[in-house]
Amino acid sequence: MTGIHQCDPPIYVQTPLGEGHCLFLLDYGTSINTVWLVHLFDTGKVAHIDSSEIRVMGNEMYGIPHPDKPQRSMQR
């Protein structure tokens, strides 16, 4: 069974394609990683990104640094 969660407010994330806001999380079950539907800032595109390639951005106000950009696990 597929689960869909709308992120309200959107989650600020770093992806291999750049920074963006996660709008939805798509969970297809225990044998498949969660997919994050991300609106990318630089291009305006919407991309489906595997959870292993997502980094939730830090919060400098609380001294939490931004993470390094993740590397793509597969060439697309």
Q: Per residue in 6-18, pLDDT tens?
A: 999 999 999 999 9
Q: pLDDT grade, residue 74 (50/70/90)?
A: low
pTM over 0.75: yes
Tallying the residues shown for the chain, one arrives at 76
Residues 19, 24, 25, CA angle at the centre, nearest 5°? 100
Render 44-76 in DSSP notation, one character per residue. Answer: --EEEEEGGG-EE--BGGGTBPPPPPPPPSS--
Where in the chain are the domains? 3-58
More confident: 43 or 61: 43
* Among candidate residues 60, 75, 42, 62, the one with its CA nearest the CA of residue 14: 42
Q: What confidence tens digit (pLDDT) does each residue in 32-50 have?
A: 899 999 999 999 999 999 9
